[in-house]
Structure 1
C-alpha cells in the first residue's frame, strides 16, 4: 500500500526551466492512493493538470485560498483587499511586473501575485498597512490574507475524504509548502527548495526538481 500524496507543482513536478516534467504522466496516474496537487498558482492550473493526468480533481490552489475536493469548491482569503494592496502599490510607483493580459492574476480569486522583480520592501509595507501578508514562493510574491495556507487547505481536504493529514506524504520546494510539511506524516524538500521549506521538512533530498520527487515516489513504491 502506498500513502496518499500532497505535491507542490512548480519546482517540484517541473524542471529547472519551469517546464512540467513528462515523468509525472508515468507515475501519478497509476498511484494507488489519493494525490492532492497543492500550488500557489491560480485555481485553473492544478484543475487542468489533474484533467490531463486523469486524476480526480482534488486540488489546493492559491496557497490554500481555493480548495476543490469531492466536487465542492471552498474559498478563503480576501481578494478585494489583495487587489487594494496591488492598486496602492502601483499608485506608489510599484509595478506588478506582468504584461497586459496578466494571466498570472486573471483567474485568481483569493490573492494577488506580483513579480519577483518588484520592489519587495514597498510591497510588504503596503500589504502590512492593509493587514495582509506577502510570501515569496520563488515564482512570485503573493499578497494574501493571514491564516490562508496550504496546510489548512489539506486539513479541509482530509475532513471531506475521511483521511488524517498524518496519512499523507508531502513534497515541496518553497515557503508556501512549510505549512503542509507541518501537518503531514512525512515531508520532503527537494534540493532546490528555499531555506524555509528545508527547515520545515523532515528530510531534504539530494536531488532537485522532479528528480527529487521521483526519488521519493520510487522509494515509497518499494517500501
Structure 2
C-alpha cells in the first residue's frame, strides 16, 4: 500500500477519539491535542473526515464542535450515527438517510431473559431518549423520558439500546447467539449493552452512502475503531485499523492494530498517512 493514501478517514468516537471511562460524564469528552492536530492534517491535505459512531445524532454534534468540524468556509460535515442507521450533515443537523425497523419482537425476546433490562430509543425532537427506566449517569446523553416499553418500540425505530447493569458483555454475546434475533442485527458493547438495528445496517453501510455522495469507494477509506460495532466498518474499508485496547475479535477484523486510545492511537495511525510538518 506504499502508493495508497486515504481520501476519507472514518473515525469512531468512544474508545477511538475519546478515552472511555467507567462512570463517565460529559466532562470526559476531551479531544487531546495530538488527535485534534491529526484530524486537521487530514483536512489540510484535502481529504474528508467522517465521524462514525453508535451514538445517536445529538450525541455526536458535541464531538464535531470539540474538533471544530467543519472548518469555516468548508462544506458541512458528514456524520454516520446510530451504527449506520442515520446519516446526517452538520451544521445545522440535517438527516439525509435513515433506516428503520420493527424492533418489538427482538426487544420482547431479550426481555424474556433479562426482564430488568433498561430499554432506550432516541427521541430526536428533545435531544434525548425514551426509556423504560433511567439509565446510569453518563451512559446516554440528553433528556430521558420515562415510557412504557410497548410505546417505546410501538413504531419503527432506527436503533434500540438494551442495557442490563447486572449482566456482563459475555452474557449478551451468548444471548444474541442463542436467540438469533431474527429480523434485526445486533452488536454487543464493552458492557452488557446491546444495540439493535435493521438487518444489513452498520457503520459500513452508512459510510457506503457517504462515499456514494462524494464519488469515493471503500478502497479510498481509512477507518479506525475499537468496538464490536466497528467490525463491519474495519473489514469494509480499504484500510481498517483497530485501537490497541480493542477486544481480540475486533483486532482480528482489522488490517492493522494501532496504539491504545490512552496513547493517542488514532493520531498515531493518521500520522502515518498525514505526517506533521517536518516529520
Q: Smaller-chain TM-score range?
A: 0.7 to 0.9
* Structure-2-length-normalised TM-score: 0.67
Question: In the TM superposition, what is the alpha-carbon distance from 1:69 to its structure 2 partner?
Answer: 4.5
2:187 to 121, 135, 152: 135
Matches within 5 A, 1:17-166: 17=21, 19-20=28-29, 21-23=31-33, 24-32=35-43, 33-52=47-66, 53-55=68-70, 56-69=76-89, 71-78=94-101, 81-83=102-104, 85-86=106-107, 89-90=110-111, 93-96=115-118, 100-102=133-135, 104=140, 109-115=157-163, 117=165, 119=167, 120=171, 124=176, 128=180, 131-138=183-190, 140-166=193-219
Question: Is 1:202 the counterpart of 2:255 in the alignment?
Answer: yes
Contact 2:219/2:239, CA 8 A, preserved across alignment: yes
Show structure 2 runs of 5+ residues with no match: 71-75, 121-130, 146-151
Quick check: 1:86–1:96 contact (8 Å CA) kept in 2? no
Deviates most, 101-110 or 42-51: 101-110
Q: Is the 8 A contact 1:37 1:60 kept in 2?
A: yes
Q: Secondary structure at the match of 1:58?
A: strand
1:130 is displaced (CA, Å) by: 5.2
- SS of the aligned residue for 1:12 comes to coil
- Deviation of 1:75 after TM superposition, in Å, equals 1.0
3-state secondary structure, aligned to 2:240: strand
Report SS of the residue matched to 1:192: coil
Larger Rg computed on CA atoms? 2
Residue 222 (structure 2) aligned to one of 169, 180, 204: 169
Query: Unaligned 5+ residue runs, structure 1?
Result: none
- Aligned alpha-carbon RMSD (Å): 3.2
Count, aligned residues: 220
In 1, are the aligned partners of 2:42 and 2:274 still within 8 Å (CA)?
no
TM score, norm. by length of structure 1: 0.82
Cα drift, residue 4 of structure 1 = 1.9
Q: 1:181 to 1:89 in 2, by over 3 A?
A: closer
Deviations 1:122-176 (A, max 9, x none): 9638964653233113252112222111111111100111111211111111121
Q: Is the 8 A contact 1:29 1:54 kept in 2?
A: no
